[in-house]
Amino acid sequence: MNEKISVLIVDDSAIVRQALSEILGSDPQIEVIGTASDPYIAAKKLQMQVPDVITLDIEMPRMDGLTFLRKIMTQHPIPVVIISSLTEKGSITALKALEYGAIEIVSKPKLHTREFIEESRIKLIDAVKAAAVAKLRRIAPRGNAMAVTPKLSADAVLPPPIMRALPKTTESIMAVGASTGGTEALRVFLEAMPIDCPGIVIVQHMPEVFTKSFAQRLDSLCKISVKEAEDNDTILRGRALIAPGNKHTLIKRSGARYFVEVKEGPLVNRHRPSVDVLFRSAARFVGANAVGIIMTGMGDDGARGLKEMKDSGAKTIAQDEKSCIVFGMPKEAIKLGAADKILPLEQIADAALLWLMH
């Protein structure tokens, strides 16, 4: 990016506005052009200068963030990153914001320890950069990053897979990774799944608390069961497990039983949960019994893991550029030769099922 990404911060807390300004202003590719304590002040500033990205609090006096977002997306669409508190109520509202066209959800910066501040910094800066390049879509409501810390690989959580033929079993698994734009992509994918589909394990880059509400939302829409993964959950036919925010989720095997391990660990590829960690575990423990799917998202998390899955005998799919909100993660996987097929979003479910159920 040659020009700086201009950002307007909208939050009723002066402390949060200052923290966000300092975090975003520390990146040489980002410029904070203003702050506003509520949507009315923000609207006046938008009349003078339109930013590349808006960061928006949900709960504010005079006008809530959700109402302001809907006005923005119907009158003058601008990429919006939702900054939300880690509460159940906040997570449900933030998910509605994604349905109304927001690009990303980021939890409010944790200002307790240096590690928390640094992780908040990484996630916020990456979210703003992803929003700046995302394709804006008006979604009707339903009935190259600065190296701030060493970028760890999946080696930090799980050793590389030993490339050997794993015995074929009668049970198969789909491992799916997504980031920016993934909430809508996963809805399309999971709604296409029949009730007897192979078990599915998903990493969607999303803060803690939000993943539980996201899983509950999908569970209400889909024929299959969808739940936030818990440690030792069995991977079952007709069920999708979504990795909890802020925890890595791995596929493990004991005899003929596949289950998930949910664990702590460092950021991998700047994320926790990491798609690379999930895909590596699938390569190690599932091999040819799996299909790996990488969807829309910024960065390269999952690209190397998908290649490891392919090398272990799994079939692999990358979402195509046209149907991606951000063609980052699939693009990097394709460059590595990790994808057997490159497909539009609407064709991914059928292709995966054809491989695994026939």
Active site residues: 179, 205, 301
First to last CA, the chain: 46
The rounded distance, in Å, linking the Cα atoms of 223 and 238 is: 8
Instruction: Please list the residues that pair with 249 across neighbouring strands.
Output: 262
Contact 98, 184 (CB under 8 A): yes
The H-or-E segment that residue 138 falls in is: none
The rounded distance, in Å, linking the Cα atoms of 132 and 134 is: 6
HSE-CB of 354 using CA atoms within 13 angstroms: 8
Q: Which backbone phi and psi does 262 adopt, to 5 degrees? A: -110, 125
The rounded distance, in Å, linking the Cα atoms of 226 and 220 is: 8
90-103 b/e (C-beta count within 10 Å ≥ 16 → b)? bbbbbbbbbebbbb
Nearest to 138 by CA among 90, 101, 173, 109: 101
Beta strands in the chain (DSSP E): 5-10, 30-36, 53-57, 80-84, 104-107, 173-178, 199-204, 225-228, 239-242, 248-254, 257-263, 290-294, 315-319, 341-343
Cα angle: 136, vertex 140, 141; to 5 degrees: 125
CA distances from 339 to 203, 268, 293, 295, 305 (A): 18, 21, 9, 11, 11
Number of neighbouring beta carbons within 10 Å of residue 306: 34
